[in-house]
Amino acid sequence: MARLSIVCIGLVLLATVWSSSLNIEGSSKRVLVLLDNLAIRESHSYYFKQLR
């Protein structure tokens, strides 16, 4: 039982450290969106404007 507790705590700590190392704001990352249908572009225009 103690071994399971240690493993669970270790996984939580690992997830915490990993998530803190991610760039949450995404300011230095770029997203490439490929569209095969122009109707998608029109219906999701607000979303695509936010990506800029």
Listed by start position, the domains of the chain span 2-51
Q: What is the DSSP letter of 27?
A: T
- Chain centroid, CA 52 distance in Å: 17
Q: How many CB atoms lie under 10 A from the CB of residue 48?
A: 14
Q: Which pTM does this prediction carry?
A: 0.40
CA 22 – CA 40 distance, rounded (Å): 30
> Among candidates 30, 31, 33, 32, which has minimal Cα distance to 41?
33
Q: Which two tokens stand for residue 52?
A: 């800029």
**pLDDT tens for the chain, residues 1 to 52:** 788 888 888 888 888 877 766 655 655 566 677 777 777 767 777 776 776 6
| Coil vs helix vs strand at 29 | coil
